[in-house]
Chain A
């Protein structure tokens, strides 16, 4: 397993009162994404726990694109990954954020 946490400063969140959301499952080639509110409103904190070590560069590229695209402040994202491809990671992140934002 490889573990790292990335932190991005981004546009502050607009709304309060979001509930934590979980998307996906920890299965081979898949991952779960937990999205929760974070006290620091302009921070996006992403914690990655992956069974496929050695791809941190790709994670960083993908996650910074994700944060830039979505401008998610005040959010903590925690990932348990079991070797998902970037395509699956991207889709799951979008789904999780969508559920988080629409669910309040």
Chain B
């Protein structure tokens, strides 16, 4: 094929375009450094209509100053944007949509803004490309959704523009790598500009501009759970998890979802699990944010290694003093990386356990409710079988054996557990005939109902009633009764076939606390290795410094 000579193929259009942008931007920068007050004009200069823009916003660190600055840009110049970012967390993210500057978004999680987002979709003011998992979205950055402009957040820059992202590195490397090496523009907001960085997380030549933000970027203490709020019911479920799942399979590599249910498990390791002789046998290697509630287990010698998606406010000094456990740079601060940790959680862990709002009769679970488009972040990556996994471990192999008795070829599978109280407050049942996700999908015109974890990925369900092992069910009917069997006094639970559930109990598919040798009345808060945040501080030897909203002293 011969290209027409009047119209020669341009193989570097992106970089030419990028050069033009940088030339326009030069008026508002000194080298890579942009003065705080010039940032809006710089954004107007380098962003073009129709650009794919990633505003770094993940569930902890937020490029909040750049978001606010984007809101101040002239909507006639900065328009028709395609936002692609893992989390829509700030009101500003939605404000910019409301101002009509955005036409399309691709994202993973919208937590606090889920209600507003659903309203904007219903009004037809925005189109959602897709709701991804974190890994999926990062992957698409490198395939068909590469950002033209990335607005990121770092702790510090030096004069050259090298960046230090510190403990909360999180999504930054994935975003910058995709943008910078495809001739995109990378703009970083930093808390401070210094002469010498503690370490370089992002080299200067991947960065187009940096600007000092007037206030440090916002970080949400998202993974801090005050043990004071853990209930006896959560402790009972944690006992069931430890005895009926962790000990049973000898689970050493795992990931915990966020929540009080899993915090209870973490706090029972040095007490209940230790008394069962499980130290060294379970919970040694983790893909996990630095949960403060893991401190007692770490101090008790349960934990050997923790790789983290992000950091956690107040944990910095503790992490720094435990470099054998956490991934720590030469400067003494942690290096987190959401993309790597997500991959690690998917491929290298034998168990994911987390909570949900609803589970249906097939075991599909979702946190989606009508009027809220929230997405699931990383849970689906953690909570799904890694079909590409090729290395064995005892837990993985046993789960594989239990799940496929009729297959000749040995193959393992991941353990995926959901842990829920049968009824939440206000008697909202966790077990339902039909997920609210269906209704949400209809009202928001989504192609598929937003399911967090599909029923065929789930292996165990734990409630205060007991634990169901879905791997052992031979028919769909058995599976449904195994779910009903632990659904307690919900309509689903009360609709069980009692005879069939007793039969499943005989076969160890449904196990109640008494079947596991657990006395419900032992489930009291004295079992917690820390009963409040202060206990955690003391357990850390004073190294953990909790945010003030978690203190009562």
Q: Do any beta carbons of A and B sit within 8 angstroms of each other in the complex?
A: yes
Question: Chain A: residues with CB nearer than 8 A to chain B?
Answer: 29, 52, 55, 58, 61-62, 83, 85-88, 90-91, 94-95, 98
Bound CA–CA A91/B232 (angstroms): 9
What residue in chain A is nearest B233 (Cβ atoms)?
A: A87
A88: chain B residues at CB < 8 Å are 231-233
Within B512-553, which residues are at the interface with A (CB < 8 Å)?
520-521, 523
Given contacts A61-B494, A98-B521, contact A29 B425 (CB under 8 A): yes
List 13 A–B pairs whose Cβ atoms lie within 8 Å, in order of A's numbering: A52-B427, A61-B494, A83-B425, A85-B421, A85-B422, A85-B427, A86-B422, A86-B423, A87-B421, A87-B463, A88-B233, A90-B464, A94-B521
Cβ of A85 and Cβ of B521 under 8 Å apart?
Answer: no
B424 within 8 A of A: yes
What residues of chain B have their CB less than 8 Å away from a CB belonging to chain A? 231-233, 236, 421-427, 463-465, 488-489, 494, 520-521, 523
Q: Which residues of B contact A55 (CB under 8 A)?
A: 427
Those 4 A-B pairs whose CB atoms lie nearest each other, nearest first: A86-B489, A87-B464, A85-B423, A87-B233
Cβ–Cβ contact A85 & B424, under 8 A: yes
Cross-chain contact of B236 among A52, A91, A95 (Cβ < 8 A)? A91
Chain A binding surface SS class? helix
A-B Cβ contacts below 8 A, count: 47
Assess whether A87 is in contact with B488, with CB atoms less than 8 Å apart: yes
Closest chain B residue, CB of each to CB of A57: B494
Q: How far is the CA of A85 from the CA of B487 in the complex (A)?
A: 13
Q: Is the CB of A91 within 8 A of B233?
A: yes
Secondary structure class of chain B's binding surface, majority of residues: mixed
B494 CB to nearest chain A CB (Å): 6
Give complex CA distance A65, B497 in Å.
Answer: 15
**Known contacts A55-B427, A61-B489, A61-B494; A85 and B520 CB within 8 A of each other:** no
B-chain residues with CB within 8 Å of residue A58 when the two chains form the complex: 427, 489, 494
CA distance A91 to B422 in the complex (A): 13
Is A85 within 8 A of B494, CB to CB? no
Q: From A92, which residue of chain B is reached at the shortest CB distance? A: B232
Give bound CA distance, A58 to B236, whole Å.
Answer: 21
Q: With CB as the reference atom, state the residue of chain A lying closest to B423.
A: A85
- CB nearest neighbor in A for B421: A87
- Give the Cβ gap from B526 to chain A, nearest Cβ, in Å: 14
User: Inside 8 A of A83's CB, which chain B residues have their CB?
Assistant: 425-427
Assembly CA distance A7 to B384 (angstroms): 48
